[in-house]
Structure 1
Amino acid sequence: MSLPSVLLLGAVLATLWIAARSWTLPVFPGRTDFVLMQLSAAWWSTAVAVESMVPAPADKLFWAEMAWMGIVCTPSLWAFFLWSYTRGELPARWRLVLVGVGLVTWAAALTNDAHHLFYTAIRPVDAEPGAALVYSHGLLFYAITVYIYAFMVMSIVVTASGIHRATPAYRTHYLGFLVVMAVPWAANAGYVFGNLTLFDLDPTAFSFLMMDGIFYWLITRRRLFELLPVARDALLDAVPDPVLVLDGDGTVVEANPAAQALAGDHAAIGRRLADLPGLSALSTMAFAISAPVSLTLDCGGTPRSFEVTWVPLTAGGGGRKVGRLLMLRDVTHRRQAEMRLEDTVRRLDIARLEAEERLVAEQEAKRALNGFLSMAAHEFKTPLAIIDGAAQILLLDAEVKAPGMLPRLEKIRRAVRRQVNILETCLADDRLNDPGFALRRDRLEVPALLRAAAAAQSDAAPGRRIELDLGDCPERMTGDGPLLELCVHNLLNNALKYSPTGTPVRLRAWSEGEPDGRSHLALSVADQGIGIPDDELERVFDRFFRASNTGAAAGSGVGLNMVRRIAALHGGMVTADSRLGGGSVFTLRLPLCEVALCQDGMAGMSAD
């Protein structure tokens, strides 16, 4: 056994002992990476030691290849440890990536005889038995070297940034990192680029073991991994809100940059809180308060709002009070937002009250208008009935005495009927809009109702023909007679209005059975008129909607909407099928049983 192997194996044992001690230390960021790095360095050094002991060149080459697992993992785990210690713990999955790269590299090294990407040739340094080997390196060796150097550069950058951020009291920790890192970096660079060796071996393994020894000294003598002081200092600096630590006499012993800025140009540390112009108002507060208290401070002539919290600091198991922690949370913007919100809510409340008053006034006006319209409709019906009666008497007399007056008298009667239909629609709409509305339950003779409606519409449109198909029409049903009659009138009136002269309108009624055993009255009104555009067919039942091709034809857009609402109240529905220029078919389906009638008046019904 040679001196290099003895030294290496002794260093390996020391490294394993240090790894075990490190694992028993209190948890610190990067502990797992640090211990794995020591184990990886121990693997590497053990392989180098065995390489120096075996005499055959083939055996030496084998152990040189075995070392690659440690060669790849040691620098990368070291970089991960530094990152975790200075910037926060890395996820475990990244550690698995490093180990995976190490295993792949190890497998490639062990199969070097097949590709010679690691070592292209080997030769002993001299003719002595068991002499060390000199390796000629292949392309993969240099690629892995670049990979390792990338992690070493990362270690330097991370450590340098840690020095920049650390307070003076803790910068020695990071300087220690840099000093330790310089050892393996210099050793490896000397071996790769200058053929520097130690006992004819790569000195990098020795340097990593020496690095472990230095770290052990830093751990035991410099208390390197006592992280809490470092973390607390970094946390205090990172908090954006002012934080102060006071001793028992009210003297500021620590203050973060935000608190120092709040104190103005005066140095806060070492002075009593009452002597600091920007913070003197805090000294008058009760120190026992632990819940946040609102306070406004004058900061350079600008008032700022804070939530102030006092936290007592105790030492030892007896709870002896040694000072207080003062935390100020700047809530200026929140207070301003709350004031704006309160003002907005106040104005919204005023607007809501005004809107409610206007709504009440509008409802009163609407009720008054509806009452007037209902009264006016009733009042108009009486003189219209008188006019129609007088026209009928004149018709009887004109048949004998003045036949030439007959067309004029018929025109009067048609005009009266149109006005009566408009009034009936207004009255029905008023009735449907009444919150207390309830359907009538009349026993209706369906064929008679349909014939009467067809006759009335024929009288109103002389020369027009309505064809009736009532062969399968049910005899009776239960429903609101006036409303259903109005539905038929509206459907027939629309069909006659938009059909060309000389074309018939067909009214058909039949009974339909449903799978649940209930029966429906199906009523269709078909015309050969102008039809409805496809993109407007779905809106034809909307209130006040009129198709774009209706032209100058009279209409309000209320009738079909009323048909849909009346059908829904009876538990039925109305549908439209139309082809532009080819006529329309409106189909009304109503249940024949009384159970389907709406029980809650107009509850849930929309006029739209």
Structure 2
Amino acid sequence: MMTLPSFLLLAAVMATLWIAARSWTLPAFPGRTDFVLMQLSAAWWSTAVAVESMVPAPADKLFWAEMAWMGIVCTPSLWAFFLWSYTRGELPARWRLVLVTIGLATWAVALTNDAHHLFYTAVRPINSEPGAALVYSHGLLFYAVTIYIYAFMVMSIVVTASGIHRATPAYRTHYLGFLVVMAVPWAANAGYVFGTLTLFDLDPTAFSFLLMDGVFYWLITRRRLFDLLPVARDALLDAVPDPVLVLDGDGTVVEANPAAQALAGAPAAIGRRLADLPGLSALSATADAMPIWGPAKGPGSLPGPVPLTLDCDGALRSFEVTRVPLAVGGGGREVGCLLMLRDVTHRRRAEARLEDTVRRLDLARLEAEERLVAEQEAKRALNGFLSMAAHEFKTPLAIIDGAAQLLLMDAEVKAPGMLPRLEKIRRAVRRQINILETCLADDRLNDPAFALRRDRLALPALLRAAASAQGDAAPGRRIELDLDGCPHWVVGDGPMLELCVHNLLNNALKYSPSGTPVGLRAREEAAADGPWLALSVADQGIGIPDSERNRVFDRFFRASNTGTAAGSGVGLNMVRRIAALHGGTVTVDSRLGEGSIFTLRIPLSQETLCKDGMAEMPAE
């Protein structure tokens, strides 16, 4: 028959089971298994008490009172284990197995009470009404189990009270709430065992545990501490990989994490003076010099880290020691200090390797600079030699060319068969002269003191002379001139501009097949900053690959499809540099296998000439 006590207990059991299910689905937290098992155990205990209040027969009431002992024994012990795991770190699972084993053993003894009467020596109804509650006379084992249960309840109070002392101010009220709520089942059970406190003529302890579970869950979820857990001081120190020591005012170690104890080289560092620890004697001297036990300083006046080297089992390790004063009353008398040792061995070694690398790089840089100076001296000497050799070669080449011309005039009458050979000699001489002119021009352009000449040049005559010279050097090839719209005059460096035209024509003739013409076109283009000369050389040759078009004007670069054709990769680079000196540009439009068009553009206004020698030259 459902009664008011049984209804309230069963309603509380359902709420407790819901809390257990919710707790199990939350993210993992220390002691979660103990917390859920404690709720299930309390629910079992309360269900047995509820059924006891519902059955009418005294024998049935006694049976359900005996059935409740599994929950009676396990609930307080699991509660204590949960608090320990929650505040100090997870306990091994084997201890939970011990608790469950003791609970099952106690339950078995309670169910066999009729054989030994160690739990209940006598049972009687409180009155003559049907279904009246029973009054139990307790045996020796009942009190022994009660002491066992009270030991865990005392453990719960001690763990929670220590949590209040160690927690930050934000969580102290949280732990205080734990402590106040825990007093409810303690008072309820003590009143029932040693007095006459009952709830509806029943033991109120089971109901008080359910109430405590609900309030506790509310405290936890209100603070979201299943997601953001309060970490006790001991667990925090244990988790710190660097050594941490707490010293009192006399220099005695009162707290040390495992890393500090391992560094100390002593199994029991706590309680000994810092100077007496074999592995930390050097730290004692450093700590005395900081100083450690002087008056407490205000915020921001703490000394910075102090370097320290310790001998750890024959290996030197580097640390940075930081001292934090511990004062009474937040700024009052200093009673000790906290020493934090940060292991910077790897960083120090890395710094040493870096310094060694920097030193070696500096030496290499100095050596490279010396070699560069020597190379520049050798280059200047080589350029001087080449310039001298080019000048020296030009004289005999001119003599050879003059002699070949005289022989040509004589051979026209006396030996016509010699004409092709003499023409071949003259082409070879002109080719060598062009190479020498290019070398001399490149040498001039590399001279920082080089400055452009400002000559007024007859442009059509210059272009015709260049086309004629290149045509003579390539017999059988045709150079088509288009000088419609060509400006009559241009201001610039005559030899340099003539060299540009020669290089562009020579490049077009070299890489285009015989029988195809090379076009030379000059015209004037209007622009916002004045008139410009646009000089184009077009061929129907091999063209330039798309991926190499941007590099064609780089020094010493030759396209991958040039094959065995002679060349040094200097001519087009020289054209670009001369164009830049005249304030102009050179561009290329090319299709692979179809030909190329090189266009040299320079302004016709002489104010655009480079006024600072090579200052505006593109970087090589």
Asked if TM exceeds 0.5, the reply is yes
Q: Structure 1 residues 307 and 478 mapped into 2: Cα distance closer, same or farther (>3 Å)?
A: same
Matched, 1:586 2:598: yes
Are 1:472 and 1:510, in contact at CA under 8 Å, matched by a contact in 2?
yes
| Corresponding residue number in structure 2 for 1:209 | 211
TM-score (normalised: structure 1): 0.65
Letter of the 1:547 counterpart: A
Matched, 1:554 2:556: no
Are 2:538 and 2:598, in contact at CA under 8 Å, matched by a contact in 1?
yes
Deviation at 1:507, TM superposition (A): 1.4
Deviation at 1:257, TM superposition (A): 1.1
Q: Separation in 2 of the partners of 1:478 and 1:204?
A: 112
**Alignment match of 2:336 (pick from 323, 328, 351):** 323
Q: Separation in 1 of the partners of 2:464 and 2:491?
A: 18
| Corresponding residue number in structure 1 for 2:114 | none
Are 2:243 and 2:256, in contact at CA under 8 Å, matched by a contact in 1?
yes
Deviations 1:396-455, CA, capped at 9 Å, x for gaps: 444444444433333222221111100111111112222233322222211111011111
Q: Structure 1 residues 365 and 449 mapped into 2: Cα distance closer, same or farther (>3 Å)?
A: same
| Corresponding residue number in structure 1 for 2:321 | 308
The percent of aligned pairs where both chains have the same amino acid is: 71
Q: Separation in 2 of the partners of 1:72 and 1:204?
A: 17
Q: Look up the SS of the partner of 1:323 in the other structure.
A: strand
Q: Structure 1 residues 529 and 340 mapped into 2: Cα distance closer, same or farther (>3 Å)?
A: closer
| Corresponding residue number in structure 2 for 1:245 | 246
| Corresponding residue number in structure 1 for 2:519 | 506
| Corresponding residue number in structure 1 for 2:169 | none
Q: Separation in 1 of the partners of 2:213 and 2:229?
A: 24
Report matched runs for 1:23-42 at 5 Å. Answer: none
Deviations 1:4-57, CA, capped at 9 Å, x for gaps: 69x99xxxxxxxxxxxxxxxxxxxxxxxxxxxxxxxxxxx99xx9xxxxxxxxx
**Alignment match of 2:494 (pick from 471, 481, 496):** 481
Are 2:85 and 2:91, in contact at CA under 8 Å, matched by a contact in 1?
no
Report matched runs for 1:127-166 at 5 Å. Answer: 160=85, 162-165=87-90
Matched, 1:172 2:159: yes
Q: Structure 1 residues 251 and 554 mapped into 2: Cα distance closer, same or farther (>3 Å)?
A: closer
Q: Structure 1 residues 603 and 315 mapped into 2: Cα distance closer, same or farther (>3 Å)?
A: same
Deviation at 1:386, TM superposition (A): 2.0
Deviations 1:317-366, CA, capped at 9 Å, x for gaps: 77323223222221211221121112111111111111111111111111
Deviations 1:518-562, CA, capped at 9 Å, x for gaps: 222111222333444445444433333333443433222221222
| Corresponding residue number in structure 1 for 2:276 | 275
Are 1:531 and 1:580, in contact at CA under 8 Å, matched by a contact in 2?
yes
Letter of the 1:448 counterpart: A
Deviations 1:357-380, CA, capped at 9 Å, x for gaps: 111111111111111111111111
Are 1:431 and 1:437, in contact at CA under 8 Å, matched by a contact in 2?
yes
Q: Structure 1 residues 4 and 439 mapped into 2: Cα distance closer, same or farther (>3 Å)?
A: farther
Q: Structure 1 residues 606 and 170 mapped into 2: Cα distance closer, same or farther (>3 Å)?
A: farther
Q: Separation in 1 of the partners of 2:230 and 2:549?
A: 77
| Corresponding residue number in structure 2 for 1:529 | 541
| Corresponding residue number in structure 1 for 2:369 | 356
Q: Look up the SS of the partner of 1:444 in the other structure.
A: strand
Deviations 1:111-138, CA, capped at 9 Å, x for gaps: xxxxxxxxxxxxxx9xxxxxxxxxxxxx
Letter of the 1:256 counterpart: N
Deviations 1:97-154, CA, capped at 9 Å, x for gaps: xxxxxxxxxxxxxxxxxxxxxxxxxxxx9xxxxxxxxxxxxxxxxxxxxxxxxxxx9x
Q: Separation in 2 of the partners of 1:403 and 1:427?
A: 37
Deviation at 1:392, TM superposition (A): 2.7
Matched, 1:575 2:587: yes
Q: Separation in 2 of the partners of 1:507 and 1:416?
A: 24
| Corresponding residue number in structure 1 for 2:380 | 367
Q: List alignment gaps of at least 5 residues for structure 1.
A: 9-43, 49-66, 87-124, 126-152, 184-197, 218-226
Are 2:543 and 2:590, in contact at CA under 8 Å, matched by a contact in 1?
yes
Deviation at 1:605, TM superposition (A): 3.6
Q: Separation in 2 of the partners of 1:534 and 1:216?
A: 74
Q: Separation in 1 of the partners of 2:472 and 2:27?
A: 101
Q: Structure 1 residues 72 and 477 mapped into 2: Cα distance closer, same or farther (>3 Å)?
A: farther
Q: Separation in 2 of the partners of 1:324 and 1:503?
A: 95
Letter of the 2:282 counterpart: A
| Corresponding residue number in structure 2 for 1:545 | 557
Deviation at 1:280, TM superposition (A): 1.9
Q: List alignment gaps of at least 5 residues for structure 2.
A: 33-53, 55-77, 93-154, 164-174, 186-199, 220-227, 292-302
Deviations 1:182-211, CA, capped at 9 Å, x for gaps: x9xxxxxxxxxxxxxx99xxx999865344
Q: Separation in 2 of the partners of 1:256 and 1:599?
A: 76
Structure 1 range deviating more: 546-555 or 158-167: 158-167
Are 2:89 and 2:235, in contact at CA under 8 Å, matched by a contact in 1?
no
| Corresponding residue number in structure 1 for 2:395 | 382
Q: Separation in 2 of the partners of 1:317 and 1:301?
A: 41
Q: Separation in 2 of the partners of 1:288 and 1:504?
A: 91
Letter of the 2:211 counterpart: L
Q: Look up the SS of the partner of 1:278 in the other structure.
A: helix
TM-score (normalised: structure 2): 0.64
Structure 1 range deviating more: 391-400 or 482-491: 391-400
Deviation at 1:158, TM superposition (A): 9.5
**Alignment match of 1:421 (pick from 425, 434, 441):** 434
Q: Separation in 2 of the partners of 1:319 and 1:382?
A: 101
Letter of the 1:583 counterpart: G
Matched, 1:564 2:576: yes
Q: Structure 1 residues 321 and 549 mapped into 2: Cα distance closer, same or farther (>3 Å)?
A: closer
Q: Separation in 1 of the partners of 2:217 and 2:411?
A: 130
